[in-house]
């Protein structure tokens, strides 16, 4: 009977450690997502103020691609 208790206590410790890791990951993910949303909003505001020259459009497309890549990395 005591062996079963020891095994269960070990499982509880393992699960508690995994839970702590998941909480830390979730917090980091939420923080990164919030930062990405903030950057996206700032970029939208900036785009509204710029004149649509070819150079500006190409630069914005490059930035949008970088943000898209960052978002993919954050979700995987």
Token pair listed for 55: 């150079």
The answer on pLDDT for 11 being more than 90 is: yes
Residue 34 pLDDT: 86
Q: Where are the domains of the chain?
A: 2-75
The answer on pLDDT for 75 being more than 80 is: no
In the chain, the DSSP E strands lie at: none
Residue 56 pLDDT: 82
Give 43's contacts (C-beta < 8 A, 6+ positions apart): 60, 63, 64, 67
> Mind listing the pLDDT tens digit for each residue in 14-71?
999 999 999 999 999 888 888 888 888 888 788 778 777 888 888 888 888 888 887 7
Give yes or no for a contact between 67 and 35, defined as CB atoms under 8 angstroms apart: no
Residue 16 pLDDT: 96
Q: What global pTM score does this model have?
A: 0.57
């Amino acid at each position: 009977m005591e062996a079963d208790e020891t095994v269960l206590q070990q499982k509880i410790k393992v699960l508690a450690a995994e839970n702590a890791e998941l909480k830390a990951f979730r917090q980091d993910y939420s923080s990164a997502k919030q930062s990405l949303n903030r950057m996206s909003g700032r970029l939208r505001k900036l785009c509204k103020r710029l004149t649509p020259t070819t150079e500006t459009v190409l630069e914005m497309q490059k930035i949008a691609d970088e943000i898209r890549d960052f978002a993919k990395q954050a979700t995987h």
